[in-house]
């Protein structure tokens, strides 16, 4: 990895996502591909898995687990060929993150809307133990329709919790339809601001933009909680999957589509 550029690393992560889902015969392709640069940058800059009281990463949009596993594999944190075991009964790599099976996971997610609440719990425990722990929480833009997200946001703002950074993977689609069709959102950033957050909007596939924000967060440069809306493309990197909600989740990724997608990424 040392000699690879970040863009090449992310292409390789995307190949691994496709490889694991192809072998599993099922999985969430589109929302995994949209979050690659975010998960890669968070783990690279924010999470040291060798440290005892390390920072935490909550993948609240747990269906994007293949992206997390592929990134962990790219960082040599999984067993050899373990990506082949995605979604198998006894595998550490379940369809949604399972902390009991994989201790690199900070919480089990998949029931959407819970990750930000869990982030608050980690934040409070960090403060009680007088640790300087940073909490990274990645939400889906469909997920934020859950009321629990806004209860959590209200609590974070009211208590000015500054060691949580919230990212929204804004790929503009959810399970059945686009966000615009389901619940159009015109004042999203203003809502977060009204809850006491500093808000930023970036290109969620720009590693430079993501890393600049993470580096600032790590240096405690924000005097309020931080929400980062990341403008992303669902299915990013594979032309026939981009903005094609048919590939939100696949029950059987065909060999033809798999080979075509890998060829594009190569």
Residue ranges of domains in the chain, CATH in brackets: 6-265 (3.40.50.970)
Q: Are 47 and 57 a contacting pair, CB within 8 Å?
A: yes
Q: What pLDDT is stored for residue 4 in this prediction? A: 84
For 26-49, how does the pLDDT look when each residue is reduced to its tens digit (9 = 90+)?
999 999 999 999 999 999 999 999
Model confidence at 95, in pLDDT bands (50, 70, 90)? very high
Average pLDDT over residues 175-185: 92
CA distance 24 to 45: 30
Q: What pLDDT is stored for residue 182 in this prediction? A: 93
Q: What pLDDT is stored for residue 222 in this prediction? A: 86
For 210-229, how does the pLDDT look when each residue is reduced to its tens digit (9 = 90+)?
999 999 999 988 899 999 99
Nearest-CA neighbor of 31 among 225, 218, 204, 175? 175
Q: What pLDDT is stored for residue 85 in this prediction? A: 98
Measure Cα distances from 56 to 73, 191, 212 in Å: 18, 26, 19
Q: Is the pLDDT of residue 122 over 90?
A: yes
Report CA 17 to chain centroid distance, whole Å. Answer: 13
Q: What pLDDT is stored for residue 19 in this prediction? A: 98
Residue 195: is it exposed, middle or buried by C-beta count within 10 angstroms (0-12/13-18/19+)? middle
Between 224 and 185, where is the model more confident?
Answer: 224
Q: What pLDDT is stored for residue 221 in this prediction? A: 85
H and E: helices and strands count for the chain: 10, 5
Please name every residue paired with 27 in a beta bridge, in sequence order, or none if there are none.
Answer: 250
CA distance 189 to 105: 29
For 130-155, how does the pLDDT look when each residue is reduced to its tens digit (9 = 90+)?
999 999 999 999 999 999 999 999 99
Q: What pLDDT is stored for residue 227 in this prediction? A: 98
Other Cβ atoms less than 10 A from the Cβ of 224: the count is 15
Q: Is the pLDDT of residue 180 over 90?
A: yes
Question: What single-letter DSSP state applies at residue 250?
Answer: B
Q: Is the pLDDT of residue 1 over 60?
A: no
């Amino acid at each position: 990895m040392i000699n690879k550029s970040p863009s090449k690393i992310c292409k390789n992560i995307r190949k691994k996502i496709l490889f694991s889902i192809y072998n599993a015969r099922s999985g969430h392709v589109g929302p995994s591909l949209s979050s690659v640069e975010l998960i890669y940058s968070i783990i690279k800059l924010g999470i040291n898995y060798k440290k005892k009281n390390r920072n935490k990463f909550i993948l609240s949009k747990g269906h994007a687990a293949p992206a997390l596993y592929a990134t962990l594999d790219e960082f040599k944190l999984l067993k050899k060929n373990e990506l082949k075991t995605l979604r198998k009964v006894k595998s550490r790599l379940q369809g949604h993150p399972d902390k009991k099976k994989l201790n690199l996971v900070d919480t089990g997610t998949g029931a959407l809307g819970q990750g930000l609440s869990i982030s608050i719990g980690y934040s409070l425990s960090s403060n009680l133990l007088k640790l300087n722990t940073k909490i990274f929480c990645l939400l889906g833009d469909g997920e934020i329709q859950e009321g629990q997200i806004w209860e959590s946001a209200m609590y974070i703002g009211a208590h000015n919790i500054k060691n949580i950074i919230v990212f929204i993977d804004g790929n503009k689609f959810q399970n059945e339809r686009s966000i615009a069709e389901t619940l159009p959102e015109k004042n999203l950033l203003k809502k977060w601001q009204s809850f006491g957050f500093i808000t930023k909007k970036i290109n969620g596939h720009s590693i430079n933009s993501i890393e600049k924000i993470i580096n600032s967060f790590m240096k405690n440069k924000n005097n309020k909680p931080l929400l980062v809306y990341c403008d992303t493309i669902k299915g990013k990197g594979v032309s026939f999957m981009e903005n094609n909600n048919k590939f939100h989740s696949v029950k059987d990724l065909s060999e033809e589509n798999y080979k075509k997608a890998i060829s594009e990424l190569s």
